[in-house]
Amino acid sequence: MSWLTGGSIPKGQAEPAPGSKARQGQSFTHSTDGCTHRRQVRFCAIRPTPGKGESIWDRLAHQHPEWMPSGNGDVAGDSYHKYKEDVQALVNISAKVYRFSISWPRIMPTGDITSLNQAGIDYYNNVINELLDNDIQPLNQTGIDYYNNVINELLDNDIQPLVTMYHWDLPEHLQDLGGWVNPILVEYFEDYARVLFTEFGDRVKWWLTFNEPLVFSYGYSIAAVFAPAVDAPGVGNYLASATILKAHARAYHLYDEEFRANQDGRVSITLNCDWSAPKTDSDEDKAAALRSNQFTLGIYAHPIYSAEGDYPAIIKEQVMNLSLAEGRTRSRLPELGEKWVNYIRGTHDFFGLNHYSTSLVSPSTNGTTLFGLTDAQVLQETDPNWAVNGTTMVPWGLRALLNWVKEEYNNPPVFITENGLGQSSKELQDNNRITYYKLYLNEILNAMNEDNCTVIGYTAWSLIDTLEWSSGFS
């Protein structure tokens, strides 16, 4: 899969989207950082590296190669051995920020503090230092060594690291305990976070606890294709969500209590949302679009970013009613409880947001099931008129999403941590992707300049070609 990376947009190069009021020549200010991004599972050599433990994606890929026919992540982009080349690619495009994730089983092969891997820590330290030395901001002992190398390489190139603690590669040993549906993982994740803050926090100032929990919790509601492939739809994904929210909050409070005073960094989470717009102007379609956005973004954003905390009322009511209709005596969505609602609320220093596209939404009892959206009871469609050179592009959807975040959560500072276009083409003259970035970046400018949305950074997905999870390299 071919991907273009990006940095800050030069003045005058962001063309307006169709119907936009944007002025030619508007540009991002110095306060909005341009950066690129990669993930551990999809770019690094996964298994044949010193000290690394097995993850749930290692297990799935090797037990079910038929689910990933175009290849697995054993080597992938091989950033484990080529991180210096990656940093030079960042330097060549004048990137100032580099987002990457740390692999839990590389740092702690079994997920337990007693299995610390120093080589992994050293690797990430080297990468971070190499970035910083090139003026780029990065929002078993062997694993520790590896990350020290990455961090140091970044710092040596004056590139700032933006580090994701968890990007879906749970140590298989912890999955054997039940994975994210088991609340004990809150304790394990706190131990892991403490190691990362201790080993790397003197240089890493931007942290994301989790990437797209909506997506990886889906692995607890589907029997195939997506790790860990647990067949518990409508139950497993909600149990996982409660554990993930608690683990995020525990890591945030840990940083507050033990590290913030000396390290002066920022901690948050990154959530994904492809915008849902009503298919028509009818009240039914508007209500369906609201449900879709709440089940997609609000399920994690509302407990963390809203003034009142907890899951959105619309989700609690919907899941309770459906659960009772199924003959259950309680909701499939677990109660967080007052203690946890208060503990989770406000655990953010910025709003991490991933966005790729937009759908038109209408009510349906046989609609979208992806990522556990069955309970939203909506049908998501695209408009054929959205195609640009055969590729669906809906840049106004990102602007609408930024405005929704502003209104729902009191205009938090948003760091767009993923945005991009994936295609199988290997063409270097990549006009579709260039057009995509121009249109979407222009709508970010519109949201900032015309709507007063607060956007502090942008990450183009991604630096190099990637293993696209169960889709492999196809």
For residues 390 and 393, what is the distance between their CA atoms, to the nearest angstrom? 9
Three-class SS string for 163-183? EEEECCCCEHHHHCCCHHHCC
Active site residue 15: no
- The residue annotated as part of the active site, out of 54, 199, 212, 418, is 418
Q: Where do runs of H (alpha helix) occur along 236-394?
A: 236-254, 260-263, 283-293, 299-305, 313-325, 337-344
Rounded CA-CA distance 26/31 in Å is 14
Dihedral Cα 234, 235, 240, 243, nearest 10 deg: 130
Which H or E run contains 446? helix 431-449
Residue among 367, 374, 303 at smallest CA distance from 335: 303
Angle at 162 between CA 159 and CA 167, to 5 degrees: 135
Determine the 3-state secondary structure of 229 from DSSP.
Answer: coil
Instruction: Please count the other Cβ atoms lying within 10 Å of the Cβ belonging to residue 132.
Output: 25
Cis geometry, peptide bond prior to residue 462 (ω within 30 degrees of 0): yes
- Burial pattern 436-453, b for ≥16 Cβ within 10 A else e, equals bbbbbbbbbbbbbeeeeb
Catalytic residues: 418
